[in-house]
Every structure is written in C-alpha cells, then in structure tokens.
Amino acid sequence: MAPPTGKRVKGVQIFRPFVYGTTARPFDEKTNPKPPGVPDDHTHSWTVFVKGIDDVDITYWLRRVQFKLHESIPNHVRMIEGEKGKPFTLSETGWGEFEITIKLYYVAESSEKPQTLYHHLRLHPYGRTEEEKETMKSSKEVISWCYEEQLFNEPYEPFYEILTSGAMPPSKNNNTKAGKEKEIPRSEGGVLDRSAMIPLTNRPGQPFSRETEAVEIKKLKEALVKVEELTKKTREEMMKKEQRLKELKADVLK
C-alpha cells in the first residue's frame, strides 16, 4: 500500500459493482476433453475470477488479485496482475471442492489496504433449483457467481479524481471493414467503463442486471407474504391450544 497522498474527500462514498466466483466443467470426451498431463483422478476443469459487471474494465481501481487455493495444489498462492479490459482469472483442474481466498489489491493512488473475500469452489449443482440444475445440465457448467459492490469511503483526492474522471466508451473491436472501430453496446442500458452503471436486462454470460434485481425483489416479497401467512396460521393454532389448555385446567379444578 502506497503512503497516503492528499486529503480524503469528506462525506463522499463511491461504489463500483463487480462480480467474482467460479465456473466449473466436468471432463467429457466430446465437450470438455481432459488435456494431456492432467492427473487421472481430476474430474473437472474450473476457473475462478474477479471482473467488472457486464465485463467493464476495473483495472483503474483494482491493481492485482491474489487467489489462495487448497494447499494440496502446487503453487497454491497465485497473484494475477491487472490487464486493462480483461478480468482477473485463474484456471485449474481438480476433483474436490474447497474455499478459495481472494485478496483484492487496489491501485496505488487509493492508499487503501487490501480486502479479502472468500468463495467456495463448486463442482456439482447441489442445492440448486430444478430450473438451475436443468440449465447447468444443458450448458455442462456449474456456475457459482456473486455480485458485489466495492465501497470507497471518503477516498483520497488523487483516487477520487480517478474514480470521477468520467465514464469511458464501451470496449471496441477492430474486426470491421477497413479496420474501422465500431462500438459494441454491452447491453441494453448502455453500460460504460469507469462507471457504476448496472445493465437493464440480462444477456448470455451476464446474469446480473436491474432485471435480475427486480426478479429477486419479487421473490422476496412473495416469500414475505408466505411468512406472514404462516405466522398468522401458527399464532391462531397457538391461541386455540392455549384456550384448550385453559379448558382442561378448568375441568381438573372442578
């Protein structure tokens, strides 16, 4: 961590959304053949990552990521340096599940201490809904992703300038005629690099959006209604039992 420069911007909080997690695939001769040299008892290939939501660049605030794997894995502590426009990823093979320690190192201008996250590598779709299991069965992938928001509380002035220097255009590609660059919209909603924007709708490979949020809110509201109904029913049953108990006591005292 670099020594602090400048003063903190008082009363200001800035957040940046990002995604971290793992994607695992069982070895299969047709869809995911086992590479030469992989131990016979390894059943899956998997990748752990940290990336911006909708794949936006986050290297302007995140400098490097350390992944600490199970100690049985050779070189089990890996440091991945940031590369502009690319996610922080690490790929391996194995047969067992374990907890991965993810340590985030911020850019020098932030003067902030590293933050640690913990994520459980999942190789099997247990604990999922039937719909999720069917999706994973068809895609041959076990996805365990988490949405997170990095909060910078009263950032130092140089870092504040970086965070608020303005949103950047979406990534471009050069695979167009005459080598001209063409902007590729990331999703409906116009998510830009260097912004805290969240996509309006889902698209393949990008499950976190305002649409997802709305669905989750709806599920929570429906669950709350069910809990209130069960609570009411339980309370009524308890009142009936208490009344019956009073009646029994009264009969005994007669």
Closest Cα to residue 146, out of 80, 214, 51?
51
The answer for 192, left when phi > 0, alpha when psi is -120 to 50, beta otherwise, is: beta
- Helix, strand, or coil (residue 22): strand
- What phi and psi, each to the nearest 5 degrees, are found at residue 162? -65, -45
In the structure, what pLDDT confidence band is assigned to residue 1 with cuts at 50, 70 and 90?
low
Residue 36: the pLDDT is 94
Q: pLDDT tens digit string along 182-224?
A: 444 554 455 777 878 888 888 888 888 888 889 889 999 999 9
What is the 3 state secondary structure string of 169-188? CCCEECCCHHHCCEECCCCC
**179 pLDDT more than 90:** no
Q: CATH top-level class for 13-160?
A: mainly beta
Q: Containing H/E element for 78? A: strand 77-81
What is the model's pLDDT at position 165?
A: 86
Q: What is the mean pLDDT of the chain?
A: 87
The confidence score (pLDDT) of residue 190 equals: 59
Structure tokens at 115: 């933050």
Expressed in angstroms, the distance from the first to the final Cα of the chain is 80
Give the rounded percent of residues in the chain with a pLDDT score beyond 70.
Answer: 85
Q: Is the pLDDT of residue 19 over 80?
A: yes
Report pLDDT for 196.
84
User: Rounded to 10 degrees, what is the CA torsion of 104, 107, 110, 116?
Assistant: 10
Please classify residue 147 by burial: count the beta carbons closer than 10 Å to its beta carbon, then call 0-12 exposed, 13-18 middle and 19+ buried: middle
Whether the full predicted model's pTM is greater than 0.85, yes or no, is no
Sole residue written with tokens 């965070």: 163
DSSP string across 91-143:
EEEES---EEEEEEEE-GGG----EEEEEE---S-TT--HHHHHHHHHHT-EE
Percent of the chain exceeding pLDDT 90 equals 63
Q: pLDDT of 56-114, one tens digit each?
A: 999 999 999 999 999 999 999 999 999 988 999 999 999 999 999 999 999 999 999 99
**For 122, how many CA atoms within 13 A lie in the half-sphere containing its CB?**
17
Q: How far is CA 212 from CA 19, 207, 225, 226, in A?
A: 14, 7, 20, 21
Is the Cβ–Cβ distance between 180 and 158 less than 8 Å? Answer: no
Give the CB-side neighbour count of residue 251, counting CA atoms within 13 A. 6
